[in-house]
Amino acid sequence: MTSLSNPRLTKREFLKYSTGLLSAAVLPYPYQAALANDHWDVIVIGGGTAGLPAAIFAAKRGLKVLVIEKASVIGGTLFVSTGQISGAGTVFQERKGIKDSPDQHYDDIMRINNNTSDPVLTRILVDHAGPTINWLAKNGYTIFENHPVKKMAHDAFSVARYQQGPKGTTSPWGGGIAILNAIKPIVEQEINNGSITILLETSANDLIQSSDGEIKGVVVENNLGNILEYRGEKVILASGGCASNPRLYEELHGVPLYCQMAYPQSQGAGLILGQSVGGYLRGGEKYSPLYGMILSDDKVPSTPYGVARNVMERLPWEILVNSQGKRFVKEDHESVDHIEHRIGEQPAHRHWTIVDQRMLDEMPEIIYDWPNKRIMDESNNHSMFKSANSIRDLAIKSGLHPRNLELTVQEYNNNLNNNRADEFGRQHRPLPLVKGPFYSIRMSGWSLCSFAGLGVNGNFEVTKPSGESIKNLYAIGEVIGFGSTSGNAYVNGMGVTPALTYGKLLGERI
């Protein structure tokens, strides 16, 4: 066994305890205690989408890197992410003859999010996203044959620059595993080189700050409850957001966390650490819900039961109403962002799909991976699905205003049958709602990311409200807030791509 006076682990010793980095194993306490005697060039808190690239590129420059990871595995949110990324000037675009530029990418982002993302961070992203994606491709990352595309579930780019890797065998979400599979061998190589050490099942509880405000290291707690200090020249917060912490999420966004589906370790630890040494939080006001989550029950938060397809993937046959039984949006609006913001204005972000039997029989699949017939079955068994032979009875069963829903359906049908313009300007109106039984599906707005995050500057240094940087402390990934990179909209690829790109850049520069 390696002596405590010489704590450097060989690859054989490390893999004995970590089983290739992807199993629930932790370095024994004597090793952890010995590592506390070392002085690290870089300490990365979080071994996920942003933290791993930062560790890799810092290690490639000869720096000694310690990664602190709360989970029993590395990978972070890549395990639950679709892994959709976007960038200009990629090898994937080149193969298909697609012409693109960082300027076009920047303009698209700002158009979609109404100029609400941080312009400095957005500029950095578009200038470096392409090379980051090319780095992944060089290391074995592949994408679907028909990608890049202009859009999937969010508002469209003007150029096809959006792609996703094929689904991983361990993830129902898909492409995040494809990214992790490209990164993991590089991490293992740097462990073999002695440049990266990873502590699993270890929580960062505090930052070590000198009297003059400089960050000097981190205080951690391992899975046995042992408290250890690790000293380092630079500390990077890459611990993700708070979308698995209902109380903190609501405090920072002013909205309950209606659906629990983010990575379990997304508890907001990095947000609290950054604040504790003088940093501040921003971006919670940019929160916007996604469309069409069918919850399992009325608990807050609940769990997902199904997700409806939005207008980017399927033109609507149904109408959408709020709790008053009234329509509130043009259901076939060309911008799903517009629809999502209207959902955000409704009480509890609830919205109901209303269809009749003929629609259900003839329309394209409305819920991912569900035949429409299942809606009929669920209406007798699940609280989010109701059916009735009249619109009035459907409203009563669904908890909607009966007279309002009757008038809403009547007006929709009359305008359609008499070839009059729709009240909201809707164009796609295949059928009126006339043939019972009628069905309702109660849906909720939802999100799996946190918009609020630590304020940083263009060097990814954590800053105080005054703009002054906190020396030796950096932040990347969702800990800086989805609102900083995507603004008040869900822009294609603006969650995963910035995390990877900023991690790579910071590792190259720190």
**Domains in the chain, please, with CATH?**
1-16+26-79+172-288+448-510 (3.50.50.60), 290-446 (3.90.700.10)
Burial class from Cβ neighbours inside 10 Å (0-12, 13-18, 19+) for residue 38 reads middle
- pLDDT greater than 50 at residue 22: no
Distance CA 347, CA 351 (A): 9
Burial class from Cβ neighbours inside 10 Å (0-12, 13-18, 19+) for residue 172 reads exposed
What's the pLDDT at 129? 99
- pLDDT greater than 90 at residue 32: no
Mean of the pLDDT values across residues 299-314? Answer: 94
121: Cβ contacts below 8 Å, ≥ 6 apart: 456, 458, 480, 484, 485, 498, 502
Mean of the pLDDT values across residues 330-359? Answer: 97
* Type and span of the H or E element at 97: none
Question: Structure tokens of 236?
Answer: 């990077």
pLDDT band at residue 380 under the 50/70/90 scheme = confident
Query: CA neighbours within 13 Å on the CB side: how many for 145?
Result: 0
Question: Structure tokens of 251?
Answer: 């405090």
Using DSSP bridges, classify how beta strands 215-221 and 203-209 pair: parallel, antiparallel or unpaired.
antiparallel
Distance CA 40, CA 109 (A): 37
pLDDT band at residue 175 under the 50/70/90 scheme = confident
131-168 residue pLDDT tens: 999 999 999 999 999 999 998 889 999 999 999 998 64
Residue 53, preceding peptide bond in cis (omega within 30° of 0): no
Q: For residue 202, which amino acid is it? A: T
Q: For residue 281, which amino acid is it? A: L
**DSSP summary character for residue 337:** H
Mean pLDDT of the chain: 92
List residues bridging with 220 in a β-sheet: 204, 228
Distance CA 220, CA 231 (A): 11
Mean of the pLDDT values across residues 276-281? Answer: 98
180-220 residue pLDDT tens: 999 999 999 999 999 999 999 999 999 999 999 999 999 99
What's the pLDDT at 5? 27
How big is the CA angle at 206 (ends 205 and 211), to the nearest 5 degrees? 170
Distance CA 141, CA 133 (A): 9
What's the pLDDT at 174? 62
Residue 430, preceding peptide bond in cis (omega within 30° of 0): no
Distance CA 110, CA 120 (A): 12
Stretch among 18-27, 307-316, 416-425 having the lowest mean pLDDT: 18-27
Distance CA 381, CA 397 (A): 13
Query: How far are the Cα atoms of 94, 204, 269, 272, 487 from residue 464, in angstroms, in the given order?
Result: 42, 21, 18, 14, 21
What's the pLDDT at 30? 66
Q: For residue 475, which of 210, 282, 274 has the smallest C-alpha distance?
A: 274
Distance CA 510, CA 492 (A): 28
